[in-house]
Amino acid sequence: MESDVLIVGAGTAGLTVAYELLKRGIQPQIIDEAEEVGSSWRRRHDQLHLNTYRPYSSLPGAPIPRSYGVYIRRDDFISYLEEYTANLKQPIRFGVSAEKIRRNGDEGWHVDTNQGEIRTRHVIVATGPERQPYTPEWPGQETFQGEFIHSADFRHADDYIGKKVLIVGSSNSGVDIGNHLSNVAIDSSWVSIRNGPTIVPAYVFGISAHIPLMWLKPLPIKMQDFMVAMLARIFLGDLRKYGFPNPPVGAITRDREEGITFGVDNGFVKALKAGRFTVVPEISSFDGQVVHLIDGHTINPDVVICATGYRPDLESLVGHLDVLNEHGKPCFFADNASSDHPGLWFFGLNSSIYGYLYTRKHEAPPLADKIARALQG
């Protein structure tokens, strides 16, 4: 099967760049390994809300209805994606999994799929930065007698009523789970922290904290780091009193260097201050029900939830092309490309402190322009 442009992935990133290509008269072929749109959102827990402000969370050409509120519920966002896909009027081949991308001489690319080969001049990898949950391995982990899950498998806070929970990690996912658990009667619980996180409130003076964050965007990075830290301190207080170490770098810097975004508080910090969560250091090992910490102390949780991040899982797809760094992430993103691999693009795989959806909407037009020029040349 031949095409000028193939988009691998029909999530928000793939849909965003498809919209921009269609505006320029280019009809991309779109494939996705899932069976329906919004598959990654459907797998997330029941209480999930976007932590970005509604007007900054829409896809191009389709504002999200005000009736969906400030922070959009998971199910509402899935409905929005279904309607967006229908209005896009561009067929998507669901159930088609890209397995390997190979160079086709000077003519483009071969993409091997579970349903045959696709030849294309341009291939846009838009499979998302959170395709594979990452869980560290600790000595004795297999002996733990309680429930041990990744945050991706968290389903409903009510499942943990009366239980002692250890959350491992306190960035975006860890704080989100802490927010939900703070609304139910869990037993005394813990959060294990390796590096001091930055946590910001969901609201400041009754408005989404995402709004003042966007006002800071034109400032130098160090100034943004300072202002975000001040925002957190003013509205949430000095969390060092509760065991949080100072962040090693500012929130904006950490996002750029490590791809780790801050947490958005909506109840977790209040629960922390009330003593419902205790901050503990890193895990050293497991011994049955006992969790050993690196400071020599032990705790006995009923549940361990690893909010330890995700990986893009691109090694089998493009690892042979030498385009991934030591963390398995592409060396170039958005409208940037490698002269050694013309026509290969990675879109929606970089992190953004300003919100993934907002960033993709602004990254897509330059990429679509470059592809349009290349096809005309």
From the list 326, 348, 317, the residue with the least C-alpha distance to 335 is 348
Residue with tokens 């579970």: 114
Task: In whole angstroms, give the CA distance from residue 258 to residue 273.
Answer: 28
In the chain, where the domains are located: 2-131+312-376, 134-306
pLDDT at 63: 95
Please compute the mean of the pLDDT values over residues 84-97 and round it to a whole number.
94
pLDDT at 248: 83
Taking CA atoms, 125 is separated from 115, 257, 313, in Å, by 18, 22, 12
Give yes or no for residue 179 having a pLDDT over 70: yes
Task: Supply the pTM of this predicted model.
Answer: 0.91
At 334-353, the pLDDT tens digits run: 999 998 999 999 999 887 77
Task: In whole angstroms, give the CA distance from residue 162 to residue 184.
Answer: 9
Higher pLDDT, 288 or 1: 288
Q: How many CB atoms lie within 10 A of CB 34?
A: 18
Give yes or no for residue 28 having a pLDDT over 90: yes
Asked if residues 97 and 316 have their Cβ atoms less than 8 Å apart, the reply is no
pLDDT at 46: 80
Give yes or no for residue 171 having a pLDDT over 90: no
CATH 3.50.50.60 fits 2-131+312-376, yes or no: yes
Q: Tell me the sheet residues that pair with 118.
A: 111
- Percent of the chain topping pLDDT 90: 76
Residue with tokens 């090992």: 285
28 phi/psi in degrees, rounded to 5: -80, 155
Q: How many CB atoms lie within 10 A of CB 162?
A: 9
Mean model confidence pLDDT for the chain:
92
Task: In whole angstroms, give the CA distance from residue 129 to residue 311.
Answer: 6
Give yes or no for residue 23 having a pLDDT over 90: yes
As a CATH number, domain 134-306 is 3.50.50.60
pLDDT at 208: 92
Given this chain, do its domains 2-131+312-376 and 134-306 carry the same CATH topology? yes
pLDDT at 1: 60
